[in-house]
């Protein structure tokens, strides 16, 4: 029986990025490497070159079964064994796009094989069968805070005693449909992203990413505290101009972190307005805390970013060194932004934050038990 007074902990966590697993990704980020490379935004149909980071061996174009399935299988093989998908070990699958690119491929080709993976329920059901899970699988999607939402729901299941352990799996793999959408908005363009840098125009990159975390009570080295979600409901694509959504979200996390020295892993996609807001809100809520963002190398892994970057944050604490913010040499948006890596042994924890379309904000504090 779980100890219902103990905090929720992460007992296991891992990720898959174009650099490899969490340890390989952390090492590459410390070396300042960039996974993003120029690629045609519509895959084999061409289009403008934009910065994309794909898992090696995968193409942007859709396949059926999807070309990303081997990556998820490899990641699943690194998860602890157990009767996942049973009532006491539920699974929470999160992402922002699932196989939506498959629907676009279906529309263009008429090949019904694409439909099998083209929507969250069908995609998750195929995965459930493929990975041998039971029926207790929930699907959660809330744009780029999807992984945070999965962590929160899994925490509640564990906290309430309903679940002994919970598995959160998050993945987002790029497709011409997804890349084309961001390109139409012009925030995915020819430039490489430089998060938290004052440049004439903003730019993001997009990356493949998948990650998992196992949560339980009273076991594991990593404690999740102050989990916070806040939705401004301001606009599809923009935040309240006064950055109040960032501030509202970070309030409970700052309260949980009071009296402790923390570093801050921000969202930092490379857009200008949101970057400025995040830099300011982080400095106000966590004075003196260095802020880093890793999307200048990995690209934005969309709904999975919260979990992918959690795995890298854990790796950073294990290794005692936090990778800095990768970008270019334009002036910083604030004094709190750390562009060089730093030793993190003197810190008590890390705040991990993500933001999403719709004015959704999410953050939590991660400490070493």
Partner 1 sequence: MPDPLIPRLKQLIVETLRLEDVTPADIADSEPLLGGGLSLDSIDALELVVRLEKEFGIKIASSEEARSAMASVASLAAYVRERGDPSRLPS
Name the site residues for partner 1 (rule: CB under 8 A).
Answer: 48, 184-187, 189-191, 200-203, 235-238, 271-272
Q: 3-state DSSP call for residue 64?
A: coil
> How far apart are CB 48 and partner 1 at their closest, in Å?
8
Q: Are 302 and 8 in contact (CB under 8 A)?
A: no
Nearer to partner 1, 110 or 200 (CB): 200
Nearer to partner 1, 236 or 346 (CB): 236
**What pairing do the DSSP bridges indicate for beta strands 349-356 and 262-265?**
parallel
Interatomic CA distance for residues 140 and 93, integer angstroms: 6
314 CB burial (10 A radius; 0-12, 13-18, 19+): buried
> How far apart are CB 328 and partner 1 at their closest, in Å?
15
> How far apart are CB 237 and partner 1 at their closest, in Å?
5
Strand partners for 225: 365
Count how many Cα atoms sit within 13 Å of the Cα of residue 289 in the half-sphere of its side chain.
28
> How far apart are CB 186 and partner 1 at their closest, in Å?
4
Which of 211, 214, 238, 174 is closest to 39 using CA atoms?
A: 174
**What pairing do the DSSP bridges indicate for beta strands 8-16 and 222-231?**
antiparallel
> How far apart are CB 276 and partner 1 at their closest, in Å?
13
> How far apart are CB 16 and partner 1 at their closest, in Å?
30
For 113-134, the DSSP string reads GGGGGSSHHHHHHHHHHHHT--
Nearer to partner 1, 175 or 271 (CB): 271
Nearer to partner 1, 203 or 305 (CB): 203
Count how many Cα atoms sit within 13 Å of the Cα of residue 252 in the half-sphere of its side chain.
15
Nearer to partner 1, 163 or 203 (CB): 203
Nearer to partner 1, 140 or 243 (CB): 243
């Amino acid at each position: 029986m779980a100890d219902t007074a103990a905090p929720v902990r992460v007992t296991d966590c891992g990720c898959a990025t174009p650099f490899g697993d969490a340890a390989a990704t952390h090492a590459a980020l410390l070396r300042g490497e960039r996974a993003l490379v120029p690629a045609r935004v519509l895959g084999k149909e061409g289009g403008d070159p934009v910065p994309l980071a794909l898992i090696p061996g995968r193409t942007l174009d859709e396949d059926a079964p999807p070309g990303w399935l081997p990556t998820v299988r490899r990641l699943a093989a690194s998860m602890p064994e157990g009767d996942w998908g049973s009532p006491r070990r539920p699974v929470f699958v999160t992402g922002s796009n699932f196989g939506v690119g498959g629907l676009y491929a279906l529309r263009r080709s008429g090949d019904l094989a694409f439909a099998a993976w083209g929507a969250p329920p069908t995609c998750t059901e195929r995965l459930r069968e493929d990975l041998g899970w039971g029926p207790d699988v929930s699907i959660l999607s809330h744009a780029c805070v999807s992984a945070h939402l999965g962590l929160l729901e899994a925490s509640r299941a564990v906290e309430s005693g309903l679940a002994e352990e919970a598995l959160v799996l998050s993945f987002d793999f790029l497709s011409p449909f997804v890349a084309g959408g961001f390109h139409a908005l012009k925030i995915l363009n020819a430039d490489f992203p430089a998060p938290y840098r004052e440049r004439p125009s903003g730019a993001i990159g997009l990356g493949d990413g998948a990650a998992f975390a196992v949560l339980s009570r009273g076991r594991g080295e990593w404690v999740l505290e102050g989990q916070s979600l806040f939705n401004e409901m301001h606009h599809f694509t923009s935040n309240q101009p006064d950055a109040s959504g960032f501030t509202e979200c970070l309030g409970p996390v700052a309260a949980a972190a009071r009296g402790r020295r923390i570093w801050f892993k921000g969202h930092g996609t490379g857009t200008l307005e949101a970057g400025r807001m995040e830099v300011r809100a982080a400095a106000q809520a966590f004075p003196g805390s260095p802020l880093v963002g890793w999307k200048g190398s990995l690209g934005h892994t969309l709904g999975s970013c919260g979990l992918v970057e959690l795995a890298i944050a854990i790796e950073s604490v294990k290794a005692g060194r936090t990778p800095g913010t990768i970008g270019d040499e334009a002036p910083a948006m604030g004094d709190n932004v750390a562009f060089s890596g730093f030793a993190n042994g003197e810190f008590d924890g890390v705040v991990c934050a993500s933001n999403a379309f719709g004015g959704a904000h999410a953050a939590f504090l991660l400490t070493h038990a």
